[in-house]
Each structure stands twice: as structure tokens, then as C-alpha cells.
Amino acid sequence: LFHWLYVSVGLCMAVLPAMAQTDTLLAPLITDIPYRHTITLNGSWHYIVDPYQTGYIDYRYRQTTRGYFLNQHAEHPDQLVEYNFETSPALQVPGDWNTQDAKLFYYEGTVWYERDFVYHPQSGRRVFLYFGAANYHAVVALNGKIIGEHVGGFTPFNMEVTGQLHNGNNFIVVMVDNTRHKEGVPTNNFDWWNYGGLTRDVCLIETPETFIQDYFIHLDDLRSRQIRGWVQLNGPQAAQTSVQLQIPEWRFSRSFTTDAQGRAYFSFQAPANMELWSPEHPRLYKLVWTAGSDTLGDEVGFRTIEVKGNDILLNGKSVFLRGVSIHEEAPFGGGRAYNAAQDHILLHWAKELGCNYVRLAHYPHNEAMIREAEKMGLLVWSEIPVYWTIDWTNPGTLANAKQQLTEEITRDKNRANIIIWSVGNETPRTAERLEFMKALVEQARSLDSTRLISAALQISHVRNDTSWLDDPLGQYLDVLGCNIYPGWYGPSADAGARFASIYQKPLIMSEFGAGALQGYHGDSTQRWTEEFQYRVLDEDIRLLKTIPFLRGTTPWILKDFRSPKRLLPFYQDGWNRKGLVSDRGVKKEAFYLMQQFYADIASGKI
């Protein structure tokens, strides 16, 4: 990975050998974490705020020999050690730092995390250190030695630490830096809070010497009930080994033999009584993998998703995606959401709205969010933070975006509810961007040919009351996404407003809406009132009803969310107010309008 730090310290790369090596130390991503043998490292971590990266870079821009990774303590009264984790305060992990320490609310920079833990290595067991996510750049050290580095704030990473753990006391130090960069993904400019820190679960994963690292299973063909996939082993006995798959409810048990790379591809026919996964019937089947001494469970659903003409077919039947956009923010009061309880509240509101689908904007959400939605019968659009004006010609930026896409697909490819990978949001119509986005579309397809690819586009112009979607990126997508804001950023959509596309493809209106301060009332022409938001959404709905190729809608957005771009005192105060629900969880009038629209669609009235 070509890393920004190499750019920012330029010629100093040569004197940062440890840095240059670290990213190669990341182990292949281990998936299906909830079903593995893990030891949590969540909880209290000491932290040091280090805006100048004093714990990392010395006054000549060299990696300092006194780096905070060493977690030193002064051993003699005359020894100079200018930091001390033990006497520094603590943050809860997982969790952003911004909402845990008032001093860090707006902070963007480096924070050091440290945690002690006791461990007793066992022979024949391998151990991996797993991070659900760290925003944005993390350098990880175990017992004073740098063991890995990761860039990208919303995807997991892991390092093997077998043989590096002491019997007894150990410590981990992580340097997390959430500085925004022009060449980053996302880039400098985006409309959400840049929550920093170890924002998701941290754990140790224990495995046998040879273990089941990853697998992929999906229903390939509805009629023949063909199920396909592969399973990947990791370890000295990975090649030419037998791996067993059991699906107890089908009394199914079959063994496959891995190839020289430790992978076995398989296909088999599901029984005739297989129940398909759908929003109405989110059926999951337990499965169990066994390889040598390793076993790995999961619960998976089987369904197909495809596009035919203007239709999106779920299990062969045309579906209308009654959705809502969601940011990964806690349901009450803000802060990054990171657990199933918070996710459940957000998704429950979506269900109340009448949704069968959610757009998880604008980056991969935590794994519990996807799994919770899968259990609740909510289809998912999952996105990477290729947002607005990315550094399109920078090869490091493309590599970064590809890596985030790969990590997202690797983690979530067995979730039946995910039907769409979105490769970006509101990107400009330039030749460089088209190349960049094409590369992402190809990458997504090569990793996962079983889902639809989309992106949230924008209209190019309005002519004679008709808004035109003709973005050239549309030709590479299976489903078109489009964000429109008539009545908010532009003139209102009057009764004669129409929407047209140059493509014969299904359209999801991936954003539309208006802002309102919950509880603020007045005339429907007065901005920030609930009445204004209601009227704009009403006009949007009128327009949406005229679009024959419309197959889904995700109004912007479920809940008010924090954004440093939203500065208007009283009305915004740092919140994007386009939520159907307020930052405190109170439903606005527009919620009920949308709910009625979805009820009408679900009952076939529209």
C-alpha cells in the first residue's frame, strides 16, 4: 500500500524502514469473527493525545527511537521518559474519542492507545490480533514491536501474533491518526463527523495450526437450487486436506478436498424444501465447517438477486426497495455506533417506517449492523467512502479504495441481505474519475459476481422540467443510484416535474429530502420547520411516482447526524437535520409521510 505518510514525509521514507515493512505484516483477513474463539480486548485503554506525533517522529522526521510503542516507564529517578500510559486517562474501546473526552470533540490528529493484558500461549495454537476498525490510520505494536499498519477507517484488519505473546503480561500500543488528507478515502471534504479512534471491537482470535480462514457460500441458481462457493484453509496442513460442510437442518454433510493453495471449490444441490431468505421470511440456516481440529459455525441465508430490464429480481420476483439511508451513528445523541444494541434501534426505526431495505451510507458499517439487518429481514446497500472529490489520478488513492472494497466484500460476502455494493457517492463526471470508478466496479465484480453493483450518481441537467440522468458511469452499473434535492438545494419539483435516464436499468433514488429541526413548526415555506421538510418530501414522492423504472428509494436520512459542515446556530448546531428522526430519537412529521408512502407501496395501492 502506498501510504500518505510516505508522501507527507517524502524523502524520509528511507529512514523509516519499520514503517515501510509494516503493512506487509497484515495477515489475510479472517472472517466470521462472531463464531470464532476470541478473547476480547474491548474495555479501558489508556490514551495520550499527541498532536505533533512526538511519540513517533523525531525532530529530523525520523521514526523516533523513543517511540511510545515501547510503553516505557522511568526506571531510575534521573531517567527521561516524557510520557506515561499508566498515569494517563482511559478511553472505552470500542468507541470514538470525540464523544468520550470533551477536549477531543473536534480533534483530528494522533492519539495513542495502550492496553495491558495477561495471556498464556498454548503450543499448537495460533493467535491473531483483530481490529474491527480504526479511523483512519493505525500503527499497531505488541510488546514494544511494531507488528502492523492499516489505512482506512471502516474495515477490519488482523495480524498474526503467534510466538510474540509472552506467558503472562503483554501490552498493545496503537497509534491512531484521523487526520484528513486530500489523497485519502474519504478525502478532505465529506459531510459527516470524522470520529477518530478504535471505533470497533478489538480481540485476539485463537485458532489451531491449520484453520478455516474464510469461506463463501451462495445460492447460484434458483431453478436448479445449485449452491456454490469455496472454503479457504490457512496453515501447514492447508493443502490437500479434507474439509467438511454440514447443514444440520438439511441433514447435509459433504467433504471437499483443498487444492495446493488450501482452497476447495464446491457446488451441490440444495434440498427441494430449502426455504429462501427474503425480507418477509429472513430464514437463516446454521452451518458447520470442520477441518482437522478446527470447526467454524455461521448462519446463512440463500437467495438470488439479479436485474432484468428495469426490474430487480429477488428470488426471481420483482422487488421494490422501500428503504432509508443510515449513517453509523448512535441512535440517541450521536457518536459512532458500534454494537448490536445500537444497530437494532436504528434498524427498528427503519422497520417502523415500513422498510424492507436500508442504504448503509457512506462506508462499511460494523459487522453487527449487517447481521442484525439480516435477521430482521432488511436488504442492504453497502458502500465504500469514495465520496465527492477524490484524488482520482493518484494511484495510491485507487489502491486504498480497492483495499477498502476488498476488505468490505471479504468480511460480508456471506450475508444474504447485502444485495448491492456501491462503489461511491456523488463523484464528478470527469474522465479520470470514470477510469477510477471503472476499476472499482471491475474489482467488485471479480471478488463477488453474485451481487449487483451501483453508485449514487447525480443528474446532469434539467430541461423542460425533466431531470436527466446520463452519467457515463451508469453504463458499468447494474442498478442506477441517484441523489436529488429539489426544493432544498434547487427549485422545487412542481407538478410537471419528470425524471429521465438514458439507460434501460432500474433506478434507486438513493437520496432526497430536506432539513428540519424537530419540534420547530411554522409555514411550509419556512426553512427548518417540520412543515417545510414534509412539503419537500411530499413533492419528492409525487415526482417519484412518475418514474416507471424506479425500483427503490432511500430518503436522506433516517436520523439527524453530526457534521462539522452544518454550522447554522440554533437550527443546525453541528447537525445535518435531514433526519426523519431527530438526534434524540424523536420522529418528525416527515417520518409519517414516508411511512404512508411505503404502506401504499407494500399494499399495492401504488
Is the CB of 174 or the CB of 557 nearer to ligand GCB? 557
Least Cβ distance, residue 591 to ligand GCB (angstroms) = 17
C-alpha to C-alpha distance for 606 and 599, rounded to whole angstroms: 9
C-alpha to C-alpha distance for 10 and 123, rounded to whole angstroms: 43
| Residue with smallest beta-carbon separation from ligand GCB | 191
Give the ranges where 420-512 is alpha helix by DSSP (H).
Answer: 431-447
556 binds ligand GCB, rule: CB under 6 A: yes
Least Cβ distance, residue 139 to ligand GCB (angstroms) = 29
Least Cβ distance, residue 399 to ligand GCB (angstroms) = 24
Please pick, from the candidates 425, 450, 467, 533, the single residue that binds ligand GCB as defined by CB under 6 A: 425
C-alpha to C-alpha distance for 263 and 246, rounded to whole angstroms: 17
Least Cβ distance, residue 147 to ligand GCB (angstroms) = 35
* Cross-strand bridge partners of residue 499: 467
Closest CA to 215 of 469, 23, 28, 471: 28
Least Cβ distance, residue 509 to ligand GCB (angstroms) = 12
Cell digits of residue 270: 440444495
Contacts of 32 by beta carbon, 8 Å cutoff, 6+ apart = 214, 215, 296, 298, 414
Is the CB of 63 or the CB of 458 nearer to ligand GCB? 458
Please give the backbone phi and psi of residue 496, each rounded to the nearest 5 degrees, phi first. Answer: -90, 0
Least Cβ distance, residue 562 to ligand GCB (angstroms) = 11
Residue pair 254/268 in contact by the 8 Å Cβ criterion: yes
187 binds ligand GCB, rule: CB under 6 A: no
C-alpha to C-alpha distance for 534 and 523, rounded to whole angstroms: 11
Closest CA to 346 of 366, 320, 316: 366
- Classified as helix, coil or strand, 263 is strand
Binding mask 436-475 for ligand GCB (x = CB under 6 A): ----------------------------------------
Please give the backbone phi and psi of residue 592, each rounded to the nearest 5 degrees, phi first. Answer: -75, -30
Rg, the chain, Cα only: 25
What's the distance, CA 539 to chain centroid? 32
Please pick, from the candidates 483, 501, 518, 582, the single residue that binds ligand GCB as defined by CB under 6 A: 483
Phi-psi region of 124 (alpha: psi -120 to 50; beta: other; left: phi over 0): left
- Judged by CB under 6 A, the number of residues near ligand GCB is 9
Is the CB of 227 or the CB of 514 nearer to ligand GCB? 514
426 binds ligand GCB, rule: CB under 6 A: yes
Measured between alpha carbons, how far is residue 14 from residues 63, 66, 223, 374, 394 in Å?
11, 19, 58, 47, 21
383 binds ligand GCB, rule: CB under 6 A: no
Least Cβ distance, residue 425 to ligand GCB (angstroms) = 5
Please pick, from the candidates 5, 576, 579, 590, the single residue that binds ligand GCB as defined by CB under 6 A: 576
Strands 325-326 and 357-360 come out as parallel
- Classified as helix, coil or strand, 305 is strand
Q: State which of positions 296-355 bind ligand GCB (CB under 6 A).
A: none
C-alpha to C-alpha distance for 276 and 290, rounded to whole angstroms: 25
Binding mask 86-125 for ligand GCB (x = CB under 6 A): ----------------------------------------
191 binds ligand GCB, rule: CB under 6 A: yes
Least Cβ distance, residue 477 to ligand GCB (angstroms) = 17
Least Cβ distance, residue 455 to ligand GCB (angstroms) = 11
Is the CB of 282 or the CB of 424 nearer to ligand GCB? 424
Please pick, from the candidates 181, 451, 535, 578, the single residue that binds ligand GCB as defined by CB under 6 A: 578
Least Cβ distance, residue 511 to ligand GCB (angstroms) = 5
**Contacting positions for ligand GCB (CB under 6 A):** 191, 362, 425-426, 483, 511, 556, 576, 578
